[in-house]
Amino acid sequence: MLVPYVMALLIDQGIAVGDMGQVFKWGIIMLLCAVLALMVGASSGIFGSEASTGLAANLRDALFGKVQTYSFSNIDKFSTAGLVTRMTTDVTNVQNAFQMALIIATRAPITLIASLVMCLIISPSLSVIFFVAMVGLGTVLLTIMFKTMPMFGKVFRRYDDLNASVQENVTAIRVVKAFVREDHESKKFKLAADELHDLFVAAESLLAWNGPVMMCSMYGCIIVLSWFGTHSIFAGQITTGELTSLLGYVMNILMSLMMLTMGDHW
């Protein structure tokens, strides 16, 4: 959050007036901020991985232990393929979702709010551009999110059918061969795999619009901000460094929105 602001000070107090002392001063501060961000980012990745893998291990142990306590009626109620899916694919999805949530639920909102606050401090009038872009971008991305969520729900349910086909073939391979049912089982597996493929393609095709929509909003903001920002510089309302920092904060704002709308994918 400090790097764009420090960049503004470097430009206004150093480059604009030709003061190399200020250039070195703010340049070193920027370097320290970057090194600190690198260290904290690497640490968060390590601790996040440890937390998510630990959660997955504990969850698998708890699920397996729970299955061992099932009565015969419970065992008949749940299919073998469904139980396998719960302890493999679903646990992995929970692990990935938890690891992403550590970023989405903390970094994205903080970055979004802090960037907006910094923009308001630098130039309240130009900050209106960000709010307009946020409303438009947020509306489109939320629409995409709500359309893809039911699709991914169907995808996870289709995993049961796929695992059931694999489990039946592996455990009863001798029976399948004895009755020459290889072609029938292959077609059955292909049908389940094709249904999973079609659902994934449909969901990912909608989700793929996130990137282009965000990029259009980002470059649109940059163009509009550059236009009005240049006029503000000539009018003496902001400095060149402040305009540069605003351009940096617009990237943070839009990337935070992108991260928040990607939560449904995990």
Q: Is residue 51 over pLDDT 80? A: yes
- From the list 145, 135, 131, 150, the residue with the least C-alpha distance to 210 is 145
Residue, of 257 and 114, whose pLDDT is higher? 114
Q: Can you give the pLDDT at residue 70?
A: 77
Higher pLDDT, 39 or 256: 39
Q: Is 71 left (phi over 0), alpha (psi -120 to 50) or beta?
A: beta
pLDDT band at 231 (very low <50, low <70, confident <90, very high): confident
Q: How far apart are CA 236 and CA 116, in angstroms?
A: 22
Closest CA to 120 of 238, 254, 260: 238
**What value does the mean pLDDT of the chain take?**
80
Topology (CATH) of 2-265: ABC transporter transmembrane region fold (1.20.1560)
Provide, rounded to the nearest whole percent, the portion of the chain with pLDDT above 70.
88
- Write down the pLDDT at residue 139: 82
pLDDT band per the 50, 70, 90 thresholds, residue 230: confident
Say if residue 265's pLDDT is above 60: no
| 8-48 pLDDT, tens digit each | 888 888 888 888 888 899 999 999 998 998 998 888 888 88
Pair 163, 84: CB distance under 8 Å: yes
Q: Which of 16-20, 79-83, 159-163 has the highest mean pLDDT?
A: 16-20
Residues 17/37, Cβ–Cβ less than 8 Å: no
264 pLDDT higher than 60: no
Q: Looking at residue 215, what is its pLDDT? A: 78
* Tens digits of residue pLDDT in 119-155: 888 888 888 887 787 788 778 877 887 887 787 777 7
Q: Which two tokens stand for residue 135?
A: 């409303």
Whether the pLDDT of residue 176 is over 90: the answer is no
pLDDT, tens digit (0-9, with 9 covering 90-100), for 107-122: 888 888 888 888 888 8
Q: What is the number of H-type helices and E-type strands within the chain?
A: 11, 0
